[in-house]
Amino acid sequence: MKKFEYKKGLAFMRDSFVPFSEAHVSIASSPFLYGLAIYTVLSINLDKSKKKLSVFRLEDHWKRLVASAKIMDFTSFLKEWDYARFEKMVRDLVKKNGLREDSLVRIAVFIDAEVAGTKIHGLPNSVCAYIYPMGEILPRSGIHVCVSSYRRTPDNCIPSRAKVNGGYVNVSLMKNEALQNGYDDALALDENGFVTEGTVANIFLVKNGVLITPGINSDILEGITRNSVICIARDMGIEVLERPIARSELYAADEAFVCGTSARLTPILSIDRRVIGNGKIGNLTATLGQKYEEIQRGIAKEHEKWRTGL
């Protein structure tokens, strides 16, 4: 079967479907000049028979997008869009592109105005979306990470729980520093020196059989994959603690991994050149990763409500 080529597909832009090459914003627009946009990324998965597609936790992505819009005061989006319209747009986008493979859908809401300065309230909002290949943003075989010299932006600067495009300058600096120094990715500390997350994914540690992750008040994105992992772990009888994590705890962990819609569950093999565990994918990490994928594809029957058939 021919692979989907997103640049030759259709995108959703300002209430209509257009060729991807025609989905543009102006160089004088608010999202280009000031990063005034919010977004989410959906996972589209083939089921175990490789015949049917489903989208993972669609309504939860919608709810988080709405929360981001409220934080950013994107008023016209909140007035003009509801969940039914959002779901229909996703369904139509997938159908019109004839999708038959695992993919990601990136959906953004942006201030659709030119030369408007840094104003937000009362300006029009538009929605855009496109499909792109699943790929690997991080090696699934495991990554080597560092603790970044840059600190995570605190909630009273650019709230991490809102997926604001402009906020990703912060983690882009971290990622660039990590790559320049021979690492795959970086971990961020908050202004008090506690662990927050990776550049595009939440972090979990395993210590003495307990799963530990920073709490939602730790300047993190409230990740949907993060929540899925917590639910799956508790279903399996694994103790989960959401609490502050000191930097030194990273080095003493038995296992560690990051997770996100794009990253899925990616094992961490070393941090600041300290080997984590035995330097291989940990047993609990592997078990959770396999279960997460089985639930996404409907191989496992748990949490069927997380999958919306397309």
pLDDT tens digit string along 84-102? 999 999 999 999 999 999 9
* Residues 6 or more apart whose Cβ sits within 8 Å of residue 27: none
- Quote the pLDDT of residue 150: 98
pLDDT tens digit string along 114-138? 999 999 999 999 999 999 998 889 9
| φ, ψ for residue 205, nearest 5 deg | -115, 155
pLDDT tens digit string along 200-252? 999 999 999 999 999 999 999 999 999 999 999 999 999 999 999 999 999 99
CATH 3.20.20.210 is right for the domain spanning 6-133: no
* Residues 6 or more apart whose Cβ sits within 8 Å of residue 201: 138, 223, 225, 258, 259, 260, 262, 263, 266
| pTM above threshold 0.85 | yes
| Cβ atoms of 165 and 69 closer than 8 Å | no
DSSP letter at 288?
H
Q: Which residue blocks in 23-82 are alpha helix, DSSP H?
A: 30-34, 58-72, 75-80
Give, in degrees to the nearest 5, the angle at Cα 299 between 294 and 302.
75
pLDDT tens digit string along 286-301? 999 999 999 999 999 9
- Quote the pLDDT of residue 261: 97
| Cβ atoms of 30 and 123 closer than 8 Å | yes
Nearest to 260 by CA among 215, 222, 286: 222
* Residues 6 or more apart whose Cβ sits within 8 Å of residue 16: none
Nearest to 2 by CA among 139, 106, 98, 113: 98
Mean pLDDT of the chain: 96
Homologous superfamily (CATH) of 143-297 is D-amino Acid Aminotransferase, subunit A, domain 2 (3.20.10.10)
The rounded distance, in Å, linking the Cα atoms of 63 and 143 is 31
pLDDT surpasses 80 at 140: yes
Hey, where are the domains in the chain?
Answer: 6-133, 143-297
pLDDT surpasses 90 at 65: yes
By three-state DSSP, how is residue 148 classified? strand
Looking only at the bridges linking them, the beta strands covering 185-189 and 143-151 are: parallel
| Cβ atoms of 26 and 32 closer than 8 Å | yes
Mean pLDDT of the 167-171 span: 97
Give, in degrees to the nearest 5, the angle at Cα 291 between 286 and 292.
100
| Range of weakest confidence among 38-52, 146-160, 173-187, 263-277 | 38-52
- Quote the pLDDT of residue 50: 75
